[in-house]
Amino acid sequence: MSARPLPMPVNPALLRHAEERRKRLENRIADQITRFAGSMLFVYLHVIWFAGWILLGVEHYPYGLLTMIVSLEAIFLSTFVMISQNRADEKRQVLADHQWQTVQQEEQQNEQLLQLSNQILELTKAIHTMNSARSPTGPNGTEQAASSSIRNPGGQ
């Protein structure tokens, strides 16, 4: 019975960060200790250890040696908790940096799309102006009334 391994991250930035962390032995050790100390197996082992210590009579009440051992363990575990919090902060920073880069790229894409939309609008206006100038018809596709009556005065 061991602590469950953490799932692999999906985000590419977190994958790169996890690879960087795995390169150093001290990070791998700290990650394993933190993962184990945060498991129920850790709790069960301590319950068995404390019960055995007391029931086997390793020392008598007030259990000074046990208290000292548990205090030292608490000091080290609190250090590993801080290491774990630092690791979580690093992950959040990696994600924030990656999201910022994504936002900047999207901003550039939006600017390009806006420029293209403006170019399309200008071209559409230019084509409309050219067609209006060439065509003898009005805006709704019919000949204008003045030119029609001049060409065909009898209405035939």
For 25-91, give the DSSP string. Answer: HHHHHHHHHHHHHTSHHHHHHHHHHHHHHHHTTSS-TT-HHHHHHHHHHHHHHHHHHHHHHHHHHHH
In a domain, residue 139? The reply is no
In a domain, residue 45? The reply is yes
In a domain, residue 61? The reply is yes
Specify whether the backbone of 101 is left (phi greater than 0), alpha (psi in -120 to 50) or beta: alpha
> What is the domain count for the chain?
1
In a domain, residue 6? The reply is no
Using pLDDT thresholds of 50, 70 and 90, give the confidence band for residue 1.
very low
Give Cα separations from 90 to 10, 82, 105, 142 (angstroms).
16, 12, 23, 70
In a domain, residue 103? The reply is no
| pLDDT, position 142 | 57
Domain of 75 in residue numbering reads as: 12-94
CB 66 within 8 A of CB 53: yes
Q: Which of 25-39, 57-71, 131-145 has the lowest mean pLDDT?
A: 131-145
Mean confidence (pLDDT) of the chain:
83
pLDDT score of 96 more than 80:
yes
Query: Which residue from 8, 25, 11, 73 is spatially nearest to 45, judged by alpha carbons?
Result: 73
**Phi, psi angles (nearest 5°) of residue 32:** -65, -45
In a domain, residue 2? The reply is no
